[in-house]
Copies of this chain bind each other. A is one copy, B any other.
Amino acid sequence: MANIRDIAKMAGVSVTTVSRVLNNHPYVSAEKVSAVIEAMKKYNYHRNINAVHLSKGKTFLVGVVVPFSNHPYFGLLLEGIATAALENNYKLVLIQTNYEEDKELEALKMLEDKQIDALIICSRICEWNLIEGCSANGPIVLCEDARDKRVSSTFIDHYKSFTMALNFLYKKGHTKIGYTIGRQSGTNSKQRDAAYKDFLKRHTFSYEPGYIFSGCFNFEDGDQVVEKLLQMKNRPTALLVTSDQVAAGIVTRCREQGILVPENLAIMSFDNQPISKVMHITTLEIPLVEVGKKLFGQAMKGEHVSHEEIPVRFIERQTV
């Protein structure tokens, strides 16, 4: 495997000159350029990018932590991040955690080891102090409200949007409202739960633990929700669903069971993914692609930490 020195020798120039043509520097005579290019072709030369990385102290790699890569929510987020990365000539290292802390720590370690220039965490598990402790190693960006932390973030105000949704359902006459959520421990989930409890308190509605369905991520989880609903004697009349996929699953199963939507059960969802349009689901749009782009932008900002709130948009269709 020929290296830059070999090429320099074969082309009768110095390594610097070779390096210059490699990087499209000006100030190299046309003849030498062609001589170098010739030699590179002849010896099938390819630059060793690791040497470049070492030399520059940069890898043009950004780590992205997601719990699952096969979920539309993270899929869209990834798409946004990937698009921005491409524009900036960066590559992405995907770190799928399945919500296991070890893997998230590994991602943090990659930043320490300088294997990646920055880290975007789409859904955090580990403690804040661990994150902040690593922030000296490079930019860390979160997709949750981190305004009181020393790392950048792009986020949705889930307290606000959940409250907005609850009020909308209330105005439509609903007083028995439940909600579905993915994992309950995340910051976003806690904000939502706080909004929910405050709503109940404001209207002096009683808290029904059975009205909260956790572990809801995918279409098939919506199926389970309806299953549980059928077992209940005092069912909610409306459901706030934190994912269009789950909402689609619920609507589908309701149709099978003869539960009329929205007459017997109103469904209000989040994200505004294509499936919600097809199934006429009323939803709160979260511009995930845009969020992804912003996240990447913040990752590029270096030391400078910033926080950006992304507004949601109400999309009324036929399930409320």
Q: Which residues on A are within 8 Å of B, measured CB to CB?
A: 46-51, 53-54, 57, 59, 61, 64, 68-72, 74-76, 78-79, 82, 86, 91-96, 103, 110, 112-115, 137, 218-220, 222-223, 248-249, 252-253, 255, 274-275, 277-279
- Assuming the contacts A50-B50, A137-B46, A277-B220, asked whether A68 and B59 have C-beta atoms less than 8 A apart, the reply is no
Q: Tell me how far the C-beta of A288 lies from the nearest C-beta in chain B, rounded to whole angstroms.
A: 9
* Cβ-defined contact, B95 with A48, below 8 A: no
Q: Tell me how far the C-beta of A292 lies from the nearest C-beta in chain B, rounded to whole angstroms.
A: 11
* Cβ-defined contact, B70 with A113, below 8 A: no
Provide a sorted-by-A list of 17 A–B residue pairs whose CB atoms are within 8 angstroms.
A46-B114, A50-B50, A53-B53, A61-B93, A69-B69, A69-B79, A70-B79, A82-B94, A86-B103, A91-B95, A218-B274, A219-B275, A220-B278, A222-B278, A249-B278, A252-B278, A253-B278
* Cβ-defined contact, A93 with B96, below 8 A: no
Contact of A79 among B76, B96, B114, B223 (CB under 8 A): B96
- Cβ contacts under 8 Å, A75 to chain B: 68-71, 75
- Cβ contacts under 8 Å, A70 to chain B: 72, 74-76, 78-79
* Interchain CA distance A47-B46 in the complex, whole Å: 26
Q: Tell me how far the C-beta of A17 lies from the nearest C-beta in chain B, rounded to whole angstroms.
A: 20
- Assuming the contacts A50-B115, A275-B219, A279-B252, asked whether A91 and B110 have C-beta atoms less than 8 A apart, the reply is yes
Q: Tell me how far the C-beta of A5 lies from the nearest C-beta in chain B, rounded to whole angstroms.
A: 15
* Cβ-defined contact, B93 with A274, below 8 A: no
- Cβ contacts under 8 Å, A96 to chain B: 78-79, 82
Q: Tell me how far the C-beta of A253 lies from the nearest C-beta in chain B, rounded to whole angstroms.
A: 7
Which residue from chain B places its CB closest to the CB of A109 in the assembled complex?
Answer: B46
* Interchain CA distance A219-B114 in the complex, whole Å: 40
Which residue from chain B places its CB closest to the CB of A274 in the assembled complex?
Answer: B220
19 more A-B contacts (CB under 8 A) besides A49-B110, A50-B114, A68-B75? A46-B113, A48-B113, A50-B57, A50-B59, A53-B54, A54-B54, A69-B69, A69-B75, A69-B82, A70-B72, A70-B75, A82-B94, A91-B115, A92-B94, A94-B94, A219-B278, A220-B275, A249-B278, A255-B255
Q: Tell me how far the C-beta of A123 lies from the nearest C-beta in chain B, rounded to whole angstroms.
A: 15
* Interchain CA distance A252-B110 in the complex, whole Å: 44
- Cβ contacts under 8 Å, A59 to chain B: 50
* Interchain CA distance A255-B253 in the complex, whole Å: 13
Q: Tell me how far the C-beta of A14 lies from the nearest C-beta in chain B, rounded to whole angstroms.
A: 21
